[in-house]
Structure 1
Amino acid sequence: MGSEDEEVKLLGKWASPFSNRVDLALKIKGVPYKYSEENLANKSVELLNYNPVYKKVPVLVHNGNPVSESLVILEYIEDTWENNPLLPQDPYERALARFWSKTLDDKILPAIWNACWSDEKGREKAVEEALEALKIFQDALKDKRYFGGETIGLVDIVANFIGYWVAILQEIAGLELLTIEKFPKLYKWSQEFVNHPVIKEGLPPRDELFAFFKASASK
């Protein structure tokens, strides 16, 4: 279990939604940690030592022990610090949360990302797939405030890309994916998510994120 004299460090990239997931989880749990910004074009020796397999962020280092891959890190955080649980107690509900977290990374986020960065030739099909993915995810929300119920949970954190990044990327790409007209419940969730006090404090500045991805789009 977590204790006060431990050392927690996060190697991350400020514009990465995957790094940001770990930021948010640690903040929700109230875990003090040191943050180390990585230059992915010139990776640090520390990053290469801690994550020799994938050589990418995020990496959580807890008392010298590195944990890689954001979904694995979130589970580790949940297992290590019991306060403000991110997963429900019920085994079936826990399994569902894990299922949707994995589905986000395997199916939903790639579809949205592809739509935002596709060329004109493949855009129509990519947008169609992104809208289908958003519909699947909205259906999973049902009538709940958050995917975690009344409090932010694992799926909400994993969906940070939809909650925050999508609005920026679709504006740059000139697309209308997540709108109040198309997905009223999911749009409402995104507003609740970004305005949650802890989440709001933990998200990167919108104008800086916009400039970062706008520069990427023009290359």
Structure 2
Amino acid sequence: MKKVKVFGVWASPYSGRVEIALKWKGVEYEFVEEDLQNKSEELLKYNPIYKKIPVLVHNEKAVAESLIIMEYIDETWKADPIFPKDPYERAQARFWANFIDDNLMPSARTALLSTGEESEKAITELEQLFKVVENEIKEKKFFGGNNIGFLDIVALVVAFWIPCMQEFTAKNILTKEKYQLICIWSEKLLGCSIIKQNLPDKEKLREFYQTRFAH
């Protein structure tokens, strides 16, 4: 049995970022697919507070919440660091990661999955958030700087998952015409072999959305 386990869902961007961080480091692990409608006793045991995925278990010690897990991975396996060395840059990376998870992702879900006035309001908000991201990426090769790192892996939700969701919902909010810098960054990021090889199949993801979100 491998000493590292990840409890997650294959279609989840939160699980995906943890797996990519482990692959980046060359860490072998066992992936345990969870059914969120019927959560396993192990998941509830290892994450009794939030009862959510992903959870990383290393030598029977559990770490929950994807951003915290990624930091744990970087500090435990030192080779090929994903966090910046500079303390200020590390703080900035954490700030923007929280911005993505706390602001951009909830807005994107509402914009893409709701209807009517609720969706229209969220789309307006999401467009403003994309402008903020554009401004931060400006003049940098990647979101986090000159090399792919923690923040870019976190922001894969913008480069991959949101475009997939757009295709499913036919709501084209994030386009190259409106957000050229985000789209250029996305193309470079998705061209990285470790990332490209460890993303869900788009067609399978579309079917997942169809099953889960279609009304």
- Mark yes or no: TM-score above 0.5: yes
Is 1:214 the counterpart of 2:210? The answer is yes
TM-score by length of 1: 0.94
Q: For residues 217 and 9 of structure 1, what CA distance do their matches in structure 2 show?
A: 29
What is the Cα-based RMSD across aligned positions, in Å? Answer: 1.4
Q: Which of 92, 96, 112 is matched with 2:92 structurally?
A: 96
The equivalences for 1:33-48 within 5 A come to: 33-48=29-44
Percent identity at matched positions?
45
Task: Find the partner of 1:73 among 51, 69, 72.
Answer: 69
Q: 2:12 matched to 1:25?
A: no
Aligned to 1:187: 183
Aligned to 2:8: 12
1:73-152 mapped onto 2 (5 Å cutoff): 73-152=69-148
Tell me the amino acid that sits aligned with residue 51 of structure 1. Answer: N
Contact 1:10 1:61 in 2 (8 A): yes
* Separation of aligned partners in 2, 1:180 and 1:108: 18
1:173 aligns with 2:160: no
Superposed CA offset, 1:106-132 (max 9, x none): 111111111001212322211111111
* Residue identity matched to 2:37: A
User: Which residues of structure 1 form unaligned runs of 5+?
Assistant: none
**TM-score when normalising by structure 2:** 0.96
Which range moved further: 155-164 or 137-146?
137-146
Aligned length: 215
2:110 and 2:118 in contact (8 A); partners too: no
- Report runs of 4+ in structure 1 exceeding 3 Å deviation: none
C-alpha distance in structure 2 between counterparts of 1:217 and 1:6, whole Å = 34
Between the aligned partners of 1:6 and 1:16, the Cα distance in structure 2 is 22
